[in-house]
Amino acid sequence: MSAPPPALVSTTSLPTPSTPLQRFRERYGWVVAIAVLLIVLLFWRASQLPVFGGFAVRTITAGSLSLALVAVALGVVVITGGFNFAVGSMVVFINCFSAWLMEGQGLVACLLIAVLSIGLAVAVSALMGWISVISGVPDIVVTLAMSFILPGVALLILGGPGGGTSPEFVNLIVGDFSNPLPSLLWLIVPLLLVWFPLSRSRYGKALYAIGSDKQAAFLAGVNVGRTRVLAYAVSGFFCGLAGIVTTAYTASGEPRASIGLGLLLSAVAAVVLGGIALQGGTGGMIGPVLAAFILSLIPALMLGLGIDPNTAETVRGVILIIVVLIGGWLQTRRRVS
């Protein structure tokens, strides 16, 4: 009598555990690359100047501060899978509102007006998120409508270029002509006090969850509507701060809608270049901040090369297209593997 055939045993190969270096490369590789690029551009800019001292550094930090904050404001919403078309217009509105009230005021009054202005930005931005959640209208539509309303209100408030602020307030926010420290602090401190604790909290994980898969996040118990409103409130905070920084940097208000549009387009480029996926769910804020400095350096570098700096927008557009192509290619590779 023949023996029965041996039972077939199905085996499943375990995935090869990743090394710490591989995990670091996957999580921070893009940010490290952006940081290296920024360092290279800074050395390049330093080589174009006879003296690269406090004045040159302050010009870079103070000139990039507003865009960096707007990039953070946009990035918070993009992480949730949404898009805020009104970030640039909100900066224009807060700039004009604060410059209108700060004209002729002292330092203490300007600080109180700054707090009021940031609170107003938070409230208006949270209202946009709430309208989108309650009505079911996509946030792109709501924020696009608000992007037309806010510059109009700014024009009603100020009527044209004007307003002002206290010289002490200017020095407190962006520093004097050779002191870059205040402008750096007004970027680093809000990130440390607001974004980084939030991103590691339960609410921060909910932001990423609804950006990755809104339906799955809902089934997991995430309050999607409240989380989206929170994202817009945080976005409003950074927009308000960017508006205050703009007031301090220019010592005036400017209600032109084209300024808001330019900020929006530059912020989109910074967000994409900084590694935040437009589909939502991935990315952090260090990359967009570094990317904002890179984009702000491009006109100065082109001027140093004797090229018309107005063509910097073309260069930014080319960079944006290349980065989107690379990001799409990397995501395709991940799905295939």
Chain segment 232-276, per-residue pLDDT in tens? 999 999 999 999 999 999 999 999 888 898 899 889 989 988 888
Residue 149: other Cβ atoms inside 10 A: 13
Which pLDDT score is estimated for 334? 54
Number of residues in the chain: 337
- Which range, of 9-13, 111-115, 169-173, averages the lowest pLDDT? 9-13
The span from the CA of 154 to the CA of 313, in Å, is 26
Residue 224: other Cβ atoms inside 10 A: 16
The DSSP-derived string for 260-271 is HHHHHHHHHHHH
Identify residue 290 by its one-letter amino acid code: L
Q: How many CA atoms lie within 13 A of 310 on its CB side?
A: 1
Which pLDDT score is estimated for 277? 85
Q: Are 158 and 255 in contact (CB under 8 A)?
A: yes
Tell me: the pLDDT tens digits for 208-231? 999 988 889 888 889 999 999 999
Percentage of the residues of the chain whose pLDDT score is greater than 70: 88
